[in-house]
Amino acid sequence: MNGSLTRLGDRDVRRIGFGALRLLGPNGFGGPEVPENSESVLLAAARKADVIDTADCYGPHLSEEMIARTLWPYREGLVIATKGGLTCPSPGTWIPDAAPDRLKRCCEESLTRLRLDRIELYQLHAVDPAVQFEQSVEAMARLREEGSIRHVGLCNITMSQLERARRIVPIASVQNRYSVADRGDDALVDRCTSEGIAFLPWFPLQRGSLARAVAGPLALVARRHRTSTARVALAWLLSRSPAVVPIPGTGSLDHLDENLSAGDLTLTGADLDLLDGRELKE
């Protein structure tokens, strides 16, 4: 069985969260075509998921503003996890900017937009090659010491960067691209598991590339369970490690329900053998 809860910092959260990027325009730039539809999905997600993941550059700023406008006052136990250190000047253009003074300013502005006194999980969105990595992490540590944030998270990092950051400040979460079709961070997932660090895979479904990479196995397992390939892909992530908290995003209420119900799907050993490319022993 997939455990229904995992540890995020010093609290337990339900194991499937929600990513807010897809509530906006293409590539997360600009507002949604139908704001009322996005707000309905967000409201439904906040009732069923404990982690809502966003960033200051989504929109830009529009995702955080929508979250505050739609969900405030926030229900008890809801974690609004946001990020700083990346800019989006145009659709599909992402530029790291994680200088210490900018991270402080980003955090302050996110607090204002989200109507929070403290951000539960604040994440370094990207490593900035123009800034010494330790300087960015030290800035996050200062925000934690000042009480502006409760927990520090890191996104798009390597194993080495995780270890360097942990020498400076406790790390509550890592958010990297990871899925049944993209397992390049297997070792990092294992490290997070052993250290009690939550691992939040972004782009956990990759509907196009995932279908191409493991279309046969996913379809077969989905037929066995009379369910969708998306639910199987999320169930695989939940089976991969108790530290994994997928954050699939969607602008559809039907897809939201499908995603959030993946924890009810238990994959068999034969299912996992097939999805992991091992020979079945039946």
Distance CA 215, CA 255 (A): 19
How confident is the model at residue 211, as a pLDDT? 58
Res. 147: pLDDT tops 80: yes
Instruction: Give helix then strand counts, H and E, for the chain.
Output: 10, 11
Least Cα distance to 199 among 242, 159, 167, 230 occurs for 242
Distance CA 166, CA 173 (A): 11
Of 223 and 280, which is predicted with more confidence? Answer: 223
Q: What is the pTM of this model?
A: 0.95
Return left, alpha or beta for 147; rule: phi > 0 is left, psi -120 to 50 is alpha, else beta. left
Tens digit of each residue's pLDDT (9 = 90 or more) over 171-211: 999 999 999 999 999 999 999 999 999 999 999 987 555 65
How confident is the model at residue 216, as a pLDDT? 86
pLDDT bucket at 282, cuts 50 / 70 / 90: very low
Distance CA 244, CA 84 (A): 22
Paired tokens of 36: 């009322």
pLDDT bucket at 281, cuts 50 / 70 / 90: very low
How confident is the model at residue 3, as a pLDDT? 66
How confident is the model at residue 222, as a pLDDT? 94
Tens digit of each residue's pLDDT (9 = 90 or more) over 83-116: 999 999 999 999 999 999 999 999 999 999 999 9
How confident is the model at residue 1, as a pLDDT? 40
Least Cα distance to 14 among 3, 26, 30 occurs for 3
Tell me the C-alpha to C-alpha distance, in Å, between residue 23 and each of 2, 64, 151, 259: 28, 11, 25, 15
Least Cα distance to 232 among 279, 278, 268 occurs for 268
Burial of 109 (0-12, 13-18, 19+ CB in 10 A): middle
Per DSSP, the three-state class of 46 is helix
Tell me the C-alpha to C-alpha distance, in Å, between residue 232 and each of 155, 203, 218: 25, 15, 7
Distance CA 96, CA 71 (A): 29
Res. 255: pLDDT tops 70: yes
Computed over every residue of the chain, the mean pLDDT equals 94
Active site residue 58: yes
CATH class of the domain comprising 5-205+241-264: alpha beta
Q: Considering 58, 74, 122, 178, which one is annotated as catalytic?
A: 58
What is the DSSP secondary structure assignment for residue 226, as one 8-state letter? T
Res. 279: pLDDT tops 50: no
How confident is the model at residue 213, as a pLDDT? 60
